[in-house]
Structure 1
Amino acid sequence: MLLTKLEIHGFKSFADRASLVFEPGVTAIVGPNGCGKSNVSDAVRWVLGEQRARLLRGAKMEEVIFQGSSARRPVNIAEVSLHFDNSDGMLPVPYQEVVITRRLSRSGESDYLLNRTPCRLRDIEDLVSGTGLGADSGVVIEARMIDALLSDRAEERRELFEEAAGVSFYRDRRRGTERRLEETTIDLGRLDDLIAEVQTQVRSLARQRRRSERHSELATRRFMLELTLASRDIAEWREELSALESRVRELRKEGPVLEGLLRTAEQTREHAYSSRGDAERRRTEVANLANEQQQALLRLDSEIAVALERQRSANVRRDRATAERASSDALGVKLASEYVQVREGLTQASADMAVAREELNEHTAAEDAARNAVLLARNEWQAAERSSRELADRVRHLELDRERAIRERDELSERLVATEAQNIALAEALAEAGSDADAALLGVEHAAAAASLAAEALSRTRDAAAAARAQEAVARTELFRAEEVCTSLNGKVGALQGLERERVGLAPAAARLLKESNRFGEGAILGPLSDFLSSSASSAILLERYLGATIHAVLVRDRAVADEVRLWHTENNPGSLLLLPVDAQSDSTAGGGFLSALADATDPARGWVRVLLDGVVAEDSGMAFVDARGAIWLPGAAGGEGPLRRRAELAASRTELVAREMERAYASAGLERARVTLAEAEYQAGGAADAATSSQQSLRDAHEQSTEAERRRMRVDRELSEIQTVASRIASKRAQLEIASNDITAQLLELATSVSQRKGEVGDAHASLTRFEARLEEAREARTRSQVHFAQIEVRLQTAAERERRLAVEESNAARRLESLQAELSEIEQADTDLARQLAEWRVKSDNVRFTVREHEDRLKEAEARVREIDVGLLDAERSLDGARRKLLDLTESLHRGELRLKELEGKREAIRGRLEAEWRRPLEELLQGLTPLEDDAELLRGELAGIRVQLDELGQVNPLAVEEHDEEAKRLNFLSAQRDDLTSARASLLQAIREIDATARALFLASFTQVRENFRHIFMTLFGGGECDLRLEQPDNPLDSDIEIHASPRGKRTQRIHLLSSGERALVALSLLFGIFLTKPSPFCLLDEVDAPLDDQNIGRFVRMLTQFKSKTQFIVITHNPRTTTEASDAVYGVTMQEPGVSSVVSVRMRTPRAPDERDEAVTSTIPEAAGATA
């Protein structure tokens, strides 16, 4: 599989579509800093599915779309495509060419396409899996990866190895499994605590269930009694309700008749309004017509003035056109003479140009022949020079190899001595590591004993916390019940206060008077009598029964206000109304009596209360009343609840609410104490848990110290073995270097003769080249002189032709101007005639318009008189409408009084309904439907009901949901027990999954690490031409968490740590390792982004040789600034430039066959015209 093309459009600085075609081998991408070269590597990484904006050198993914420049607007879509040749079938799709495309828009829509067909990112990943391609693979090698390998952060170095081994997937799975295991362990602990709490609640609810069942039996009997009594009361009110409903229906039938009369009167008035509107519109239309004619007259006068001005202007234009026509005739004669002279000069220049062209062709041919001779001579000299230089390079390389072999032999001798010293030091370190491991085992035993004691303390504190939690639950239940009672009382108080605010039950006339009290002045209407009276609930019944409708009497400030109210009452007739002037009440304090003692009156009603109640005594529990005169008052049946009883009930409810609030506060305090106790117990449990955790951590630390000590002992043992192996390898290597040094000396002697012979050949070829170059220079000078002469004649010919063309244009312009002036004079004569005719017409039209204006003014006066006549009829219609409205208002008042009484009875019925439905939470009809009425006397039933209420009070508050809660909590307990079993099983499964993931990841990592290690050694030897390198795990027994150490010793150096190498050597070591990782998981191509930047010329040569060695197996795309990488290793070169600021463009250059170094600059320069035409 080969990468054939990369297409970029709208990605970062590539605003226009750019295509880069790739063939097997090495392709270089060059360009100045900031031109957008690295955007190519970002594009490759992005199209392969990279989701991290940070790795694309951005903060968010939208930044990859071209952001615009000083001369261009931003684009809306970024698109990158990779084309692959799939002839070998490496990708599992039936296509010879596969195109992978990624597209992103500014709206956030992202698309992936496979051969222009939409697909998912997962489809792309599945397609390229196993090929070495992918966003996380090593297909792109950047300079930052070198920094990651050479940094002191072990996790960055491990990340590259794990990506090559494919361990990242297993690490993520293990991390997720460990997180689930931790959550499962926490959930298991919480579940144990929850099960203990639920068991306590189940036992408590069992006791509450028995009390609730007894309460339910009594409540059922109370329900039967209350429902029977309520059904009897509702039946008594049914007849009166029926009569009231009939009266209300009659009044409602009369209402539409009166409304019809009212609508007729309104229609009459609307018709009058409509007629007045028509007359008004007619008057407006006439006024508008008159105004329009006046405006038209003004416009005609203005147009006449403008026409006179145009006539004067036309005379001026006629005079100017006549003068211009005379001057144009003279110019035409002059141009004709100049045109004849120019034609003669043009003929002579054409003849001279033909002679000059023949002379130039002869000199050009001579120059081409001389150039060909120079090229042949130069090729012969370059061939001889190249052969001589190759022999010299070979001699120099052999001398360097001999010196290097001697130097390395001496260094190996020194290293052998140092290795023997390291062997002795490691033996001593091995003994010390053994004693440290024994001490760590003893620390593990002590930590295990401390952890056991902490676990026992944790169990005791958890039991205490469970007991405190049960006490807190009981206190919370008591507070809940108290809050329910307070909520109920608050609702009742709020409802009674709402009735008081709305004065429900007040006589309609009194209510209306209070509503319109502002018309009588501030403080004139003081309020109803009931507002100034208060008493207990039992006394309120007697007062309301005696006073009757008098309770709705309204207190006024004085008799003057009373007289004003009488006038208002006569006008509005709102119904019966009793007024009590404050200045008319008696000042006597004598009297007294039973009822006056029961009433608590306040100013200014105290005098009237004495007048009404002094001396009145109630008999037979309010069935009769005797006043001070001895008169006996027998009231009718007790009505509904009045304002005094409502106010008394409100006061009683507020008192009870205060008591219940105190009970709730006491329950809240008890709950707070229980919570404090629970918090202390949980704090102690938390402390014990922290101690247990600390002891467990100490135990783990002791285990880790023991493991670390054992690991250190094993590492020292391994290093001892390795140093012995190194010593034997050094001795063998020293013998090999001795043999190589002798072979190189023999080769140098053989090459000395060939070098002197090649130098003579180079001198002869260079002398021949000098002669041919002199001849070429003479031919070039002759050709240059001919070109100058030809160019001068060509300029003269062009000048004559331009003069001829300009004269023709001037002559044509003069003719057209003469025709234009003649046409203008004719047009002026015609316009003058038309203007005179138009002036006559406008003067006639002006007279006609003046006559029309006078007619419209007369019609306007007639329309205004019609409007005044219609206004008189409109006033009569308004009077009729007021009479109809008063009749409808009287009917509405009668209907309102009937509806008030109807609502009063319905309110009583609804009060019973609301109380029963609120208590039993079912509709009243449904309650009565299933009722079997009790046949006993009502008094007996009321007595039995009172007894049941006493029993319920003695039973106290019960949990009405105890049965359901007990069943629910029992089910919950069973469910939680099953959940605990499931969590225990899940915890065991997660532990087994972690062990399996570790085993798989360990095997993959070790296999990949071994392969990377071998590749690293091979590539290191290739780049450095010798030396030693190795990769080591600091903790071989734990490879997944072990740090990776890089050891490298270039040829001739004893340095092992890469931090002690030069920057170029460190970069070359990192490249060796990166290529080793890449070869472990190879891909069809590899993109190198400025990885050769730190390398000097010598190391660049090694880098180029490595590319040359591997390019037969892998395509390489190299982004570089180095000219040697571009010229020596590349088969093709792409140049990235910014000819337009902020916009990258691509220029392609195919490298020619190898050439001599002295010719390199000229060859590259000569290809620039070709490159400009090959822009992708």
Structure 2
Amino acid sequence: MRLTSLRLSGFKSFVDPTSLGLNRQLMGIVGPNGCGKSNVIDAVRWVLGESRASELRGENMHDVIFNGSGTRKPAGRASVELVFDNSAGRLGGPWAQYAELSVKRVLSRDGQSVYSINNQVVRRKDVHDLFLGTGLGPRAYAIIGQGMITRVIESKPEELRTFLEEAAGVSKYRERRRETEGRLSDARENLARVEDIRLEIEQRIGTLTEQAAVARTFQEKSLLRKERQALLLALRRHEALTTLSRHQGERNAVQTELEGLSARLTGAALEAEQARPALDSTASELQRAQAALFEVNTKIAGQEAEDRAQQQIRDRALQSQGVLALTLERLTQEREEVESLLLRAQEEGLAATAALAAQGERVEHARAALSPLEERAQSAAMSLSELRATLAAAEAESRSLLTRQEEAQQNQARLAQRLKEIETAISSLEVLSPDALSDARTQQERALTEHQEARSALDRLTSELAGAEASLVSAQSNDVHAQNQAGQARAQLQAQASLLHQMEAKGQQTEWLEARSVSHTQRLWTQLSVADGWQTAVGAALSERLSAVALSNLAEVLSFTSNPPSRVVFFEPPRGDTLAPSDSLATKVEGADVAAETARRWLASFRVIESLAQAIDRRGELGADELFVTREGHLIGRHALTLHGESDDDGSGLLAQRDAVRGLQIKVNEAEAEAEISRAALLRAEQALAAARTSLKQAQQSEERLRGQAHEAELFVVRLQERADRLASQSAELARAQSGLQAELAQNLGHLERLAAEARASAQAAQSFRDQIEASASESELASQALSAAREILSNTEREQQDLRLAERSAQEQCSRYEAQKVELARRQEESEERQAAAQAELQSALDALAQSALQSLLASRIEHEQGLLAARQAAEAASDVVRQLDERRLSIEREALPLRERLSQSDVAIAGAQATIDQLDQQLSEQEVDIVSVVAGWPNGLPPPDLPKANALSAEVSRLSRDIESLGSVNLTALDELEQAREREGFLKAQAADLFLAVETLEDAISKIDRESRALLQSTYDSVNDNLSRLFPTLFGGGDARLVLTGEEILDSGLQVMAQPPGKRNTSIHLLSGGEKTLTATALVFALFQLNPAPFCLLDEVDAPLDDTNTERLCGLIREMSAKTQFIFITHNKITMEMAEHLVGVTMQEQGVSRLVAVDLEAAHAFGQEAA
């Protein structure tokens, strides 16, 4: 393995892309001081992963990026690339397959550092691992920079052991041991964490076992209650079917008896219908007389209204004349006020013009006073400028002194070079923030607090889950109750609607009308709305007319007059309004549609009265066609009285039944709304239960996660405390060495103090000039203030002048406005006089119209029509008596049928109720998902067995089971599943703990094996290095003895010391040797390591500087000998070392701050010289 090329771009002084070919075993780099030769060594160390800025001769890592020169801008990034020949496959691992390897590092100014191997981005650790065991690395013995030879010899025993480990190739074992220890620590921590979690799981299993027992009891009792409820519903359904069958038989018997009475009723109704034409004729005459009288009354009312209108016109004209007179008077006053305001505005305008002229003179005077003040301010400013120039000269002298002081400080920095070495060691220590431990403990406390909060939240969510389950049970009970109420209401509505349909369809009228395409919705009673309490009275008064059929034209009846089953009444929309007394039954009819108007016309002759006794006493007040009617439906005429019985089928039942159906419909709607609300509440309870379960699961996961975080935070605090203690010990040791060097530096501060005194004197002189400038500035400020005050006076005077101009303009505008108002008021006065003349003409016209009224002739005509109406009413009363007697006979038959209809209706209601109960039970069975067939499968012949409990007993048992379930309290229905999960998790944790125990044992065995192998390898390497050192040391010194000595018994932890005795010396410490002897000793040690584990290349930075020519020749001879296995790249100023190089590379800096390369192949140059000779 050999380094073939080095490529630099933007690194320190190598700003341009530079490639250094390294195709020889002995490469020399030469050049004058400060040309950038050592930057090549820094580049190699940096690309191999060096992270200490002090090792790269900088203050921070950004110093490696070219920072610009006098002619060049700073670079944006630094890039260094090493190219290796790996054809021998010395580099193992995943990169062994590549014959050539490229290692590159790029650093940009934004702080981003990128490593790559063969253009694949890798970590810094990957680069470090690539060269483990090869002797290469940022701190390995293969890179020997300026001063490193001395640091090798003077290094601590522990630091010297690092070189031995690298030579032995155990650094990769040590890295693996460190990783294994980390995994072992993690395994032990995980084992402790698993054990903690397992103990908590055991406690939770105990709690869940109790909750699971309660949940199991809850499920068993709930299942038993469901079975008993299903059996109870099946039994009640059987009872409802039995009841339905019994009521259907009773209804059939009543229906047969009622059909016989219907035949008799049809005959009686036919006779009454034949007598009605005479009644209708007299009624028509009566209506015509009423219409004529109504027309006369209408004309009278119209004439009276016209007379009132003319009277209003006269009054309005008189009132208008009065208003116009007042308006004329007000306009005259306003015109006089405007003329007065106009005169005042003209006077104000003249005054403003005079004041404006005077203000102009004051403005000119203020401008004249401003000029001297401006000259004074300008003079003060010039004086201030001269003083500032003098101050600038004094400050320039002060800066010169500061420059000399900085030069002295730079001299002190050179003296502090040795101190920097100690500071470098201090900076290499890991810096632990003072607040890191406090923050870690705070984080630990926060983690513990969050874990406690999560635990509390878990307990709270467990309670909420129990509450949600109880709410769900309550919501289910409420939903069942609401559904039952809605079902009962629907059953009642169905029964009453069925009864209403039967009452409507009785007889054969419905079928006869439907056969002729007449809808039942055209019936009068379906469209009629009657005040509460008067349905019976309206039904008794209208009788069969309550079922009258609405037609658009009575002529339509001619198409289907054949074979009516009974009396059928038709009506067409009435024309004109119906006049009815205030006590007429027509006032109890509500609405304004055709049906209501028709009913009011028929009911106009029926007068309401509170009691039968009052009607008998007052019957003399009735006209020939009038009747009193009570709330109970009793009809009282002047000479007849008809009592309304409870069994009368006169149509009043239809209205009552219809209103009952409407009321039940409202009740059903309300019950269904309540059912929807309960169903929504049930849905919300189910959603709340699901949400509570989800929240509980999330809380359990969060609690486990936070428990782990709290444990990890605790471990982190322990580790951080150990690391802080270790860093404190190292820092104290380095601080002691630093204090010694700081004492030496204190002696060099005298010169700096003298320069500081001169700088202070210069600063005092400059301060004196500043004081003078301040005084001059004050005077200039006063002049400026006086100038500002004069300008302010001028500004105020000009502003007042502008205000006067505005006042003058305002006065002129007011004059114009008042002139316009004066003209407008004159125009409005003329218009008022014209309107007053028009009002006088309107008044005269109204007086003429009142004189020509025709009211008296209309009053005489009304008397004649009232006499005709009296005669028509007497004829109608006689016809009405005949029809009434026939109706009473028909009503008598209907009374006989009414009890049968009542029984039929009761049977229908009972049948509908039984059917509704069956439907409700079927709905409950469906909602509870009960198969009725499977429930009654064991019943003999579909009948309940004798040993089956009664419905009351089953209901009591269901109630008892419900109470038992409620007594269980809050039930965690998920406890069974959670218990199973907890047991599974416990088993998993036990298996995981066993695996971790096995992993700990395996890792401990691996560490023991690594220690054994490392100990054996280090011992072998130690012996070999000692052999090589004892051989190379006499070669470099021409005699003497050197060896490595262990400072402890355990070689894995023991440090190393170098014992070296040059020829003729018996020194007890290497620190007693001279600088050259230390350099040769360190070189011998490094080469001893090389011979054991030769690195691919070795970088030497002026290591021959302390040596004389003899020792340099010995060093060069040794390097030539070792170059057979190792590539050497050396930087030197020594001509003897230059002669050793096979290839020389010159570094120049013709452009200030920019390094360039000049390469010379010495073998090729020598061959060229021989050819030229």
Q: What is the TM-score when the length of structure 2 is the normalising length?
A: 0.36
Higher Rg = 2
